[in-house]
Amino acid sequence: MSASYDQTDSNYGELMACLLSGRSRYQTEEEFKAFAVESVRRFITDLRALSIEVSMRPSYLEKSPLRHSSTEQLAVE
């Protein structure tokens, strides 16, 4: 995730807008991303109380989603 977020972008939903409202508290993009990931993890846990299941994709898949794919392994062999 190398994108920088524009707080004035009206395409974001309410949750992203809420996260972005605290963006100025963090000096670096990495600090903000760590805050955002932890906030989303806590939100996912909170949603379970409402019987809503949400999952996050593991971060190792961000760099190369096909690298760990059995389909790619078959194509290589």
**Each residue's pLDDT tens digit, 7-61:** 556 688 998 999 999 899 999 999 999 999 999 999 999 999 999 998 878 777 6
pLDDT at position 28 is 95
Q: Answer whether 44's CB lies under 8 Å from 57's CB.
A: no
pTM, to two decimals: 0.60
pLDDT confidence of residue 57? 80
Instruction: Please tell me the distance from the alpha carbon of residue 45 to that of residue 74, in angstroms, as a whole number.
Output: 36
Domain residue limits, the chain: 14-76
Please report the pLDDT score of residue 77 as a whole number. 47
Q: Which long-range contacts (CB under 8 A, 24 or more apart) does 66-71 make?
A: none
- Measure the CA–CA gap between 49 and 31, rounded to whole angstroms: 28
* Secondary structure of the chain in HEC code, one letter for each residue: CCCCCCCCCCCCCHHHHHHHHCHHHCCCHHHHHHHHHHHHHHHHHHHHCCCCCCCCCCCHHHHCCCCCCHHHHHHHC
